Amino acid sequence: MKLLALQRRMARAVMAPLTQSERMRRFTRDGHPMARVAEQIIKPNDRLTSFERLEIYNRQYWFRVLDGFSEDFPGLRAVLGDRRFDAVAKAYLTDCPSHSFTMRNLGSRLESWLRKHPGHAGGRLELALDMVRLEWAEIEAFDGGAESALKPNELAGADPAKLHLRVQPYVHLLDLRYPVDDLLLAIKHETGTDVASNAFNERQKRKKVSAVARLKPAEVYLAVHRIDYFVYFRRLEREEFAILRALQKGRTLDGAIDLGFRSSAIPASERAARAAGWFQNWASLGWFVSEARPSQ
């Protein structure tokens, strides 16, 4: 058997879903006995059959990717509950195996997958999607690129109608329908504890479930960003969000501000001062990239 053919056959077996009791399935997806597949490629030894030897790799694969996925999405677990979350993890990773050299990207397709498989969210689709978007943004903000921050004197004499401000790559903007930022912070606070008694864990679990149950829809505009290498969530006003998003999309400064205040309830007389305050905050956080470029 040629190398590529052998690797394809083994990879199919290794990445095939496990049974409920976390063992290798007896049959492949197309109905062939897995024992026969194993015997064709793997030698038995005096202690293990070919099937058992292949099963070591099959189980290792799933334990590894499920662990990685669980670490990345504790908030989604809280929203869905353990049983439904485990089902989502297995179904998602079966449909969307890793296409990256790094496990960091395991969840990169989760939002689009969940949109295509809304039944997995069990009536909490919007909440689950918001949480997935937040947790993925957190991963991206944690190790996203950073460029030199804009210095105040760089803007001297710039024409706002032609000025393009670039937002740092690690700043991620989210428009959410639920305050999942509060929920995720509460979950992280709880799981950050070193206390490990069963009773304590049970109490924490109940608190988490009730926190999810209490979560009411609310329009939230959020920036997920970094300060000193730690990720933070910053709530934004709707207009702030719209201006920043327009800048990210390449609008000029003037164009972004116009867009930001479109259908805004903020009185026209107050807008200049509000915008100036926001820009001051964003600049002090280092959100704008140096070397602002005039439009061509």
Partner 1 sequence: MPANRFNGFTNYGVGIGLRAPHYEHILTRKPVCDWFEIISENYMIDGGRPLHILDEILERYRVVQHGVSMYFGSAERPNREHLRRLKTLVQRTKTPWVSDHLCWGSVDGRYTHDLLPMPYTFEAARLTAQKIGEVRDFLEVPVVVENVSSYAEFHVSEMTEWEFLNEVVEQADCGILLDVNNIYVSSQNHNFDPFTYVNSVPAERVAQMHIAGHSKYRKYILDTHDHPVIDPVWKLYDRAIQRIGHTATLLEWDDRIPSFDEVHKEALKANKFLTSASLAAAV
Question: Quick check: 143 binds partner 1 (CB under 8 A)?
Answer: yes
Question: Quick check: 103 binds partner 1 (CB under 8 A)?
Answer: yes
Q: For partner 1, which is the closer residue by CB, 106 or 220? A: 106
Q: Which stretch binds partner 1 (CB under 8 A): 2-10, 158-166, 172-180, 204-212?
A: 2-10
- The CB-of-94 to partner 1 minimum distance in angstroms stands at 12
What span, in angstroms and rounded, lies between the C-alpha atoms of 129 and 144? Answer: 22
* CB atoms closer than 10 angstroms to residue 2: 7
Going by their DSSP bridges, the two strands 220-227 and 172-176 should be labelled as: antiparallel
- The CB-of-50 to partner 1 minimum distance in angstroms stands at 8
Tokens coding 81: 């509950």
Contact flags string 157-196 toward partner 1, x per CB under 8 A: ------------xx--------------------------
Q: What is the DSSP letter of 178?
A: S
- The CB-of-54 to partner 1 minimum distance in angstroms stands at 6
Helix axes 50-72 and 3-14, enclosed angle (nearest 10): 60
Q: Are the C-beta atoms of 255 and 243 separated by less than 8 Å?
A: no
Q: Are the C-beta atoms of 245 and 262 separated by less than 8 Å?
A: no
Q: Which stretch binds partner 1 (CB under 8 A): 22-30, 43-51, 78-86, 112-120?
A: 43-51
Q: Which of 37, 54, 79, 243 binds partner 1 (CB under 8 A)?
A: 54
Q: Which stretch binds partner 1 (CB under 8 A): 49-57, 174-182, 277-285, 287-295?
A: 49-57
* CB atoms closer than 10 angstroms to residue 280: 11
Question: Quick check: 229 binds partner 1 (CB under 8 A)?
Answer: yes
Q: For partner 1, which is the closer residue by CB, 82 or 143? A: 143
Residues 21-40 that bind partner 1 (CB under 8 A): 40
Q: Which of 294, 247, 240 is nearest to 271 (CA)?
A: 240
* CB atoms closer than 10 angstroms to residue 62: 21
Q: Which of 201, 202, 207 is nearest to 183 (CA)?
A: 207
Q: What is the DSSP letter of 29?
A: T
Contact residues: partner 1, CB under 8 A: 1-4, 6-8, 10-11, 14-15, 40-43, 45-48, 50, 52-54, 56-57, 60-61, 64-65, 68, 97-104, 142-146, 169-170, 226, 229-230
